[in-house]
Amino acid sequence: MDTNTVENGLALARAHILAPAGLTESDLERVFSQLLAPGVDAADLYFQLTRHEGWVLEDGIVKEGSRSLDQGVGVRAISGEQTGFAYSDEIILPALLEASGAAKAIARSGQSRRVQAWCQGSGLQLYRPLNPLESLSDEDKIALLKRVDAEARRLDPRVEQVIVSLAAVHDVMVVANSDGRIAGDVRPLVRLNVSVIASANGRRENGSSGGGGRFGYEYFLEGDRWRTYAHEAVRQALLNLEAVEAPAGTMPVVLGPGWPGVLLHEAVGHGLEGDFNRKGTSAFTGRIGERVASPLCTIVDDGTLDRRRGSLNVDDEGTPTQCTVLIEKGVLKGYMQDTLNARLMGMAPTGNGRRESYAHLPMPRMTNTYMLAGPHDPQEIIRSVKRGLYAVNFGGGQVDITSGKFVFSASEAYLIEDGKVTRPVKGATLIGSGPEVLTRVSMVGNDLQLDAGVGTCGKDGQSVPVGVGQPTLKIDAMTVGGTQA
Amino acid sequence: MAQAHNGNERAGLPPQAELEALVALALEEAKRLGASSAEAGASVDVGLSVNVRKGEVDTLQHQRDRSLGVTVYFGQRKGSASSSDFRRESVLETVRAACSIARHTSEDPAQGLADAELMAKDVPDLDLFHPWALSAEEAIAIARECEAAALGADPRIVNSDGADVSTHIGLRVYGNSHGFLGGYRASRHSLSCMVVGRDGGEMQRDYWYTVGRAPELLESAASVGRKAAERTLRRLNPRRLSTRKVPVLYAPEVARGLLGHFIAAISGGALYRKASFLVDSLGQRIFPDFVHIEEQPHIKRGLGSAPFDGEGVATRPRTLVEDGVLQGYVLSSYSARKLGMQTTGNAGGVHNLIIRPGALDFAGLLKEMGTGLVVTELMGQGVNGVTGDYSRGASGFWVENGELAYPVQEITVASNLKQMFAGLRAVGSDVDERGNIRTGSLLLDGMTVAGE
């Protein structure tokens, strides 16, 4: 198959969306000529067609399955710092013209302008433009769910409940803007998740695991990857049955590699998004060039990683994604930008303009955010701690951009006593200050890992898939929110 | 009526009969394709929202969302599908997609529609529909007034995340093959403001909002702005706390979340999976004996009011907790069958949960507590529904001698929800009615506060 090129990605996207609606380039020109009223500086049309499916196995049977189809077009008009937005779930010319009329009402009087000649935007080739819903037969999807369930139940008699879910999204977009650029992308995304409850001696605990990315379902079959998810979920649940109360107070914290990188997403990631810095509401506002982390820390946001959950060939404004250095050897280097905030701040867009769907406005959002590997052996890092916490798995996190305070909640953690990992402790929330916490990073491991492909980030009510990663790292002092004072 | 509401042609809701016809079409098609039973829901939501920041419009958004969801049952095998496309051929395609799913799901004896005799017999008018004839210009003017009140409140208010005005109207229709077909319209309007303050040290932000079914129920723009500013100012120059065990007073805006955890723990889905710390707790004492919690689905203009639930089952007022003892679970027909019980009309959740207020207001509760922590904001998701273990980031105020002493931040509060519920000492009279859960402040016995 020779579909793995972006031009074909764009061609495919146009064939999926614009062709069935009978929309031609001259129709788009007609929409833009209406949209570009006096005072409108820029405008874009975002066409999207999304197919989603989800399957759930529980009590050993496949209880639920669902499919959804959502399509529409979002119309945005920008006048200075002001944005007008309307959308339609009908991709037809009259609806487009009507939405344009509503969106352009934002502009006051000003210069009139015209759309430039169309040019096709170039993008990356990070994943194949396939439809993951069709990457396995429905029978094979059901068989996969059942194998995961059987494996989890086989592992230990204490496993009481197993829930397995499988989901895929086939997201096709075309974005055309008033600079005459037209870009498109076909974005597959799959996910498999296993959640188990184990019980013993009247105690009941859960564990969960999963993964995914921008490919077909066959990813889960390669090397029996599904089996490792089942093992991991069961291991966590059984471990939690043994967990003691978590400590409370400020202590050294060692974070494991991979998903604990949610630390970076919360502590610095959101605070470095362009919109908060343009508005001056971030604790990092105006701090480019300043030291905000220990010299061991180099942190990037990279939308160009092969088939990762947070990767995109082009962002939702048609800008190719890139690897943006946020913090280099501890010094703040840059922000993540969409086109609006980049223009208003006199900076270049970084391919971080993302939106949940055609019915939402784009904003600066993260893609895959991670810290580069450092010099230390992970075992040496643990040995360096007299008494502290070793946290290797996390639930979600949250940040207050303005004060910089952030939290993330450990779901698998251990005590470190005299340089050794000892007892598992119950989940606890860790809290810190974004501009401070990374200045306390004293050791960085040589074991960089990215997460398994399960992250979803929420901002202003919009959810987008993201990735995180980091090597093992040691924070000299962080507050651990357990119950044992 | 609604047609002119946003001052443009995009704003209207379709007639209810139009959505009823779509639902009927979907049900007929399901029957034609051999489904033994089926249900379908259709909704249209239309809205306008503006954000004004530093006196200028930041965004002006017109929303219009449609959705059709279909569930079919072949015996006790289930399949679902949904679409935003209301054209006839798309509706038929959606039904076919649901049927194709049902070919692959398993027989599940608990699956199916709610029992026919439980369907709502009529759809009471709960006075939920009050469209706001608000033009974009008027919305902008209200947001400006609100933000100006916040920015002008004090020179230490140095920046703004802006003021938002939004107005939404919606129509939803649900029908199933028992012959139930019902629908209702509802509106929701809100005004909010968030500003940033600074007094030497680091920046702090806080916000205030008002929400209601009818525009006249909203707090004034100036009042919302002033409260946003007051709340921001009182947080300036916070301290941390050393690690300690103290009583904690949850302000109403965060107390709501604690009751949300309670509802999650007595919900059918968590119970039949044994994924709740309140499994088998019916008839057990969960709270101290002064606690009374009820569900009131038929409050006129209530934000959580609904005449029927997500399965067409008539909603009804009931007592969930009496004298601290759990009287009922929160069940859909599916979870009810799994538990060998009957649905409580809660497919889709609870409808106006109310905990009976006590005699003391916020100031009275501070005196009652004496020394301790007031929490006004929580961060993160550190709540384990299986075990009840609770650990969240917090900010608020340290209290000494029954008075707010100073703001605090970058601390955590931790305990176990079972102990927290049992250790509830008082419910305030300062009820926050801005949501589906109505509660005053909640004063709890000792929790572990972790800090420096």
Summarize pLDDT for B98-131 with one digit per residue, the tens: 999 999 999 999 999 999 999 999 999 999 999 9
**Is the CB of A85 less than 8 angstroms away from the CB of B61?**
yes
pLDDT at A120: 81
pLDDT at B7: 35
pLDDT of residue B11: 56
Spatial distance between the Cα atoms of B180 and B159, rounded to a whole number of angstroms: 53
Interface test with B, best of A164, A429, A476, A480 (most B CBs within 10 A): A429
Give B-chain residues touching A206 at CB under 8 angstroms.
275, 384, 386
The answer to pTM > 0.90 is yes
Q: B13 is written with which tokens?
A: 């809701």
- Residue A21: count other Cβ atoms within 10 Å of its Cβ: 18
- The pLDDT, as a whole number, for residue B4 is 31
Distances in whole angstroms, Cα of residue A343 to Cα of each of A76, A274, A347, B394: 16, 10, 6, 36
Which residues touch B21 (CB under 8 Å, ≥6 apart)? none
Per-residue pLDDT tens over the stretch B403-425: 999 999 999 999 999 999 999 99
Per the prediction, chain B carries an average pLDDT of: 96
Residue of A nearest to B91 (CA): A69
> Per-residue confidence at A122, pLDDT binned at 50, 70, 90?
confident
Give the rounded distance of the alpha carbon of B111 from its chain centre: 27
Residue among B64, B78, B420 with most chain A CBs within 10 A, to mutate: B64
Q: Does B53 touch chain A (CB under 8 A)?
A: yes
Contacts of B414 in chain A (CB under 8 A): 246, 248, 428-429, 481-483
Instruction: Report pLDDT for B201.
Output: 86
Facing B452 at nearest CB: one of A105, A250, A481: A250
- DSSP-assigned letters across all residues of A56-78: EEETTEEEEEEEEEEEEEEEEEE
Ranges assigned E (strand) in B2-55: 37-53
Band of residue A4 on the pLDDT scale cut at 50, 70, 90: very low
3-state DSSP call for residue B259? Answer: helix
- Position A262, amino acid: V
pLDDT score at A412 = 96
Residues 190-209 of A with CB under 8 A from B: 197, 199, 203-206
Binned at pLDDT 50, 70 and 90, residue A407 comes out as: very high
Q: How confident is the model at residue B138 (pLDDT cuts 50, 70, 90)?
A: very high
Asked which of A118-122, A144-148, A435-439 is least confident by mean pLDDT, the reply is A118-122
Which of the four pLDDT bands, split at 50, 70 and 90, describes residue A112? low
Q: Cβ of A58 under 8 Å from any chain B Cβ?
A: yes
H or E segment at A87?
Answer: strand A82-88
Residue B1 has pLDDT above 80, yes or no: no
pLDDT above 90 (res A104)? no
Question: By percentage, how much of chain A surpasses pLDDT 70?
Answer: 97
Within 8 A by CB and 6+ apart from B252, the residues are B428, B430, B431, B432, B439, B440, B441
- The residues in B 295-314 lying below 8 A from A, measured between CB atoms, are none
Q: Which of A58, A134, A483, A484 to mutate to test the interface with B (most CBs of B within 10 A)?
A: A483
- What is the band of A37 on the pLDDT scale with cuts at 50, 70, 90? confident
B60 and A82 within 8 Å at the Cβ level: the answer is yes
The pLDDT tens digits of the residues spanning B191-204 come to 999 999 999 989 99
- What does the mean pLDDT of chain A come to? 94
